[in-house]
Structure 1
Amino acid sequence: MKIARWMDGETLGEGFVVDDQVVAFPDGQTVADVLRGGLRRAHDLYAAVDRSAARPLRDVGLLPPLVPASVRDFAVFEEHVEGMSADADGVSHVPEQWYRAPTFYFTNPHAIYPTAAVIRPPATVRLDYELEVAAVLGGDPGEDLDPATADERIFGYVIMNDWSARDLQSQEMNVRLGPAKGKDFATSLGPWIVTADEVADRVDADGFLALRAEVYVNDRLLGADLLSNMAWTFAELVSYASRASRVLPGDVLGSGTVGNGGCLGELWGLAGGALTPPPLAEGDVVTMRVERLGELSGTVGPARANPHLLPTARARPKPRARTFAEPSA
């Protein structure tokens, strides 16, 4: 099954994509409702939809297929980390800590864009794409899930582009926090959620999802990899996310950028810092295609200048008590 959200004129639709049509869930159900119900409930709804009310897919505008409860983004492709960590000589420095656990960061669930969106980045000279696939959780919330139980919480998968302003990201991560403003302006998800059972035949004996992912800039192929080159499975990512914490239906967990050109930053690192291919510029079209999952595209729009410049950090005295006079009685 494919799960989508769309605008049909002024009307919001939520439901299934069936062949080249969209059909709404029965009884006004939403994607959030279906995720909470899990895959079994989704199959029940699929059997009950009124296909006579279907609309041609070409006549609607696709939205992000869900409003995420949260968005975690991992970094579990060693080849990507090698490229991003390379020095001026193109020599990689993957930290030993990377091999211990699947590191992730939280990004902005309020800046989610659909396929065919125009992305307006902040003022940056190193705009980048990141080709990823994300797991979407459904069913019951969970804490401290083992991988087998975590796997049961994976409702489906969606293509993800973690747009990145590499110059801003580099600056802020020198403070040993983030990434933040280098990332939070846009994440694209789409074109729809493909349910986990639709790709179950592509899960290998070790639990890895063997789907081919490709990224094109202005129709030029720049990166391609198999998702099965992940260092941890999606189930293990969900398990780790739930450790001493809580995961919910509607949570999105990105795989992190695939290797072999999954982002420009990786290619720049392996080229010793040379910006080849060049950073994304206004008018560039980034298209991501993942086997079984569909196609996600986005166009780079004009940059947004900083509207409110802030001062640099102020030098402050270090008093440990207030010195204001107390008000008289």
Structure 2
Amino acid sequence: MKRILMLMSLGALLWHTSCTTQGEEKHEEEVEFLVTSPARMDTTITEEYVCQIHSINHIELRAQERGYLEKIFVDEGQYVRKGQLLFQIMPKLYEAELQKAKAEVSFAEIEYQNTKSLADRDVVAPNELAMAKAKLDKAKAEEALAEVHLQFTEIRAPFDGIIDRFHVRLGSLVEEGELLSNLSDNSKMWVYYNVPEAEYLDYKSNVQRDSLMKVGLLMANNKMFEFPGVVETIEADFNHETGNIPFRATFPNPKGLLRHGETGNIIMGVPLDNALIIPQKATFEVLDKKYVYVLGEDNIIRSKPITIAAELPHIYAVQEGIDVNDKILLEGLRLVRENEEIKSKFVEPAKALSELDLYAE
């Protein structure tokens, strides 16, 4: 009796296992894999370049006369207005020279008037009057020169801007031409960055004549500067050692956040016309090479290597390896094997891309 019961139990177990296996095989056969095709579209790739930030005006403030620094009217980092007095070099010597020049002008004026009076009565020759007039003109010229030297003792701001640190202190003896400080006009900023030759050619091919490309600025704290800039200038020559050419973008700086000498990264969009686009998730990598699974007419998948032209968020622009008519496996790449026959469901390229977070147009 036990033997019969054991045989019945074994049979039931085998029947259950057989049913379960058949159910699993049937379930596997019913799995449909999503496939799609590459899409042809115009898009924009984002390139990033290390940049240097400069004030639109950044100059050195230097002494124009020799003397002791008598007064400093501003502080380091202070915002100043055009024409504002910044430094005063002791003016006593130049004031005395101006007074002397004024006295000489007065003397020459009296001498000229006396000579003119005599010349009017034909007492003296016309040449003597001409010499008196020349002497007066010379005295006036020396007076004007003395006034200029006196004005040079005052260093004023040539434009609105921010004063840099001082290189001299109150009471210092400064020489003619000695650096006192720097002045920066930060109302706008010039941002310089280098672009490789190939990307320069793409830029020039896609940007219309006389149009300005907008760019973004990623600051050192990894935050985007809130105001966009425009590429206004490209230098004339390439650097033969690096193969780069400098670009200059201009950024408004109404809040004064950017300062001269900062660094950051320029974010520039480069147009890609008629690019072949696929989702990144449809690719896999083997030994640093990118592959996709291509579905043949016999429903068998085969891997094909592809060359990536550009990388965007969640998508690749493909240079070669597949074309727009190929069907590529969209999902489940780890669940299939090479040369395996699968059941598939086609997803329109536009729908497949619309579910991704793209910056494509």
Task: State the TM-score, normalizing by the size of structure 2.
Answer: 0.19
- Which of the pair is proportionally richer in helix? 2
Higher strand share: 2
Higher relative contact order (CA 8 A, sep 6+): 2
Given the two structures, how large is their TM-score scaled by the length of structure 1?
0.20
